[in-house]
Amino acid sequence: RLRLAGRIHSAIDTEFELYYQPICHASDGTPAALEALLRWPQADGSFIPPGEFIQLCEDTGLILALGRWVIRAAAQAQRRLADAGWPLPIAVNVSAVQFFNSDLVAEFARATQEFGLERGALQVELTESSLMRKPAQAKQTMQRLHEQGVCISLDDFGTGYSNMSYLQHLPLDILKIDRSFVSDVETNPRNASICRALLSLGHSMGLTVIAEGVETPGQHQWLAAHGCDQVQGYLLGRPSPLVEVIARLETAE
Ligand code: G
Ligand code: G
Ligand code: MN
Ligand code: NA
């Protein structure tokens, strides 16, 4: 683990890459945003998946430097995307350790300014554990991100232990239904009930609702028929390098 941590430390500015996955309007499948996802390519052409290094980065504090790099790289990508004629917002995942221990607001402000981005060009994806740990601090940071024009998504929703009455007081914009509820939504009545409940909850709070992990046309149709706003998953597009995303946007036009 120590050796891996050392490798991560020296890889931050040189080896990591961001891939981008489309988030599409459920009604017609057109792109609404992209989610940035970290990839660590290896010499043999394979990737070490984030699941194998994010936790280590959080335990060692490396997540602060890595997270800073992610914000700047996503901002640079959004500039390229906008310059290519596709001004889609890019959503960045922020882990709880990073949320509470870095000056996120300043990092987003700096990246936005450096690349001359519009308000709304960047979004943040937070998990329930971030928001529930230190509610007052979380709310304040979220409000300051909003002032910078950064929209906020609640990621992996349904898997945590949110206090619903508390959630209502947070300045959220988007709720992302975890893919575990989406995978068999047309055939599993229990997951269908959960998705209906989460859609209703999100909409009653005035939020945009995104379903993650959409892999089949049947899932997409079910979600669109039940009022889900946006869909994300392998059906709509796999995470890919920015140049490939732009090429696909251009051929789909
Ligand atoms: O891309 P993949 O499905 O392998 O991602 C696995 C997990 O890693 C997901 O929970 C995702 O949110 C997380 N992840 C991906 N990129 C980042 C990132 O830039 N920062 C943080 N904190 N987590 C990320
Ligand atoms: O925790 P978070 O929602 O950020 O995780 C996103 C992860 O989900 C990414 O690692 C991405 O590669 C993965 N992912 C995206 N779409 C699909 C999908 O349709 N099916 C599955 N199994 N995983 C997906
Ligand atoms: Mn996410
Ligand atoms: Na998720």
Which segments of the chain have a pLDDT < 50? none
Residues with Cβ–ion distance below 5 A, ligand 3: 93, 125, 155
- For residue 220, the model assigns a pLDDT of 98
Q: Is the pTM of this model over 0.95?
A: yes
Closest CA to 205 of 179, 175, 160, 227: 175
CA 212 to centroid of ligand 2, rounded, Å? 7
For ligand 2, pick from 23, 183, 212 the residue to mutate: most ligand atoms within 8 Å of CB: 212
Domain holding 85, by residue range, is: 2-252
Domain CATH number, residue 57: 3.20.20.450
- For residue 202, the model assigns a pLDDT of 95
Structure token digits, residue 129: 């554990």
Helix/strand/coil (H/E/C) assignment for every residue in the chain: CHHHHHHHHHHCCCCCEEEEEEEEECCCCCEEEEEEEEEEECCCCCEECHHHCHHHHHHHCHHHHHHHHHHHHHHHHHHHHHHCCCCCCEEEECCHHHHHHCCHHHHHHHHHHHCCCCCCCEEEEEEHHHHHHCHHHHHHHHHHHHHCCCEEEEEEECCCCCCHHHHCCCCCCEEEECHHHHCCCCCCHHHHHHHHHHHHHHHHCCCEEEECCCCCHHHHHHHHHCCCCEEECCCCCCCECHHHHHHHHHHHC
- For residue 209, the model assigns a pLDDT of 98
The residue nearest atom 1 of ligand 1, judged by CA position, is 37
Structure token digits, residue 134: 């230190």
Structure token digits, residue 160: 């945590």
- For residue 191, the model assigns a pLDDT of 96
The identity of residue 16, as a single letter, is F
- Dihedral, CA atoms, 158, 162, 167, 171, nearest 10 degrees? -70
- For residue 185, the model assigns a pLDDT of 96
Q: How far is CA 19 from CA 50, 90, 229, in A?
A: 12, 11, 23
CA 126 to centroid of ligand 3, rounded, Å? 8
**What is the number of the ligand 1 atom nearest to the C-alpha of 37?**
16
Is 37's C-beta closer than 6 angstroms to any atom of ligand 1? Answer: yes
Of all ligands present, the nearest one to the C-alpha of 237 is 2
Is 128's C-beta closer than 6 angstroms to any atom of ligand 2? Answer: no
Q: How many domains does the chain have?
A: 1
Is 223's C-beta closer than 6 angstroms to any atom of ligand 2? Answer: no
